[in-house]
Amino acid sequence: MEADAADKKRLWAVVLGLTPKLDGNQWCILWGDDMQTGVVGFGSCPVDAINDFEKAMYAVGGKK
């Protein structure tokens, strides 16, 4: 349980202080000014959006 909580604290969304927001019927996490120039993650629930955001961050090397 403690290891799981520690892993969650290392997620980019947590480190950057981002929170998922509902966008239509999907949850979204955005880092940046807009979806075209920022890094974004979507999902059917907040956890899925965070996981998608993680993949997007690693795809750009953690740099915006």
Task: Average the pLDDT over 10-34 and give the result.
Answer: 94
Three-state DSSP at 10 gives coil
64 in any annotated domain: no
Task: Average the pLDDT over 11-35 and give the result.
Answer: 94
40 in any annotated domain: yes
Q: pTM for the complete prediction?
A: 0.79
Instruction: Tell me the pLDDT of the chain averaged across its residues.
Output: 85
- Tell me how many domains the chain contains: 1
Distances (CA, A) of 20 to 1, 3, 8, 25, 34: 23, 23, 14, 13, 15
Domain span holding position 13: 2-59
Three-state DSSP at 4 gives helix
Task: Average the pLDDT over 49-56 and give the result.
Answer: 95
Other CB atoms within 10 Å distance of the CB of residue 38: 14
Give the containing element (helix H, strand E) for 56. helix 46-59
pLDDT at 62 over 90: no
Torsion angles phi and psi, residue 43, rounded to 5 = -170, 165
pLDDT at 29 over 60: yes
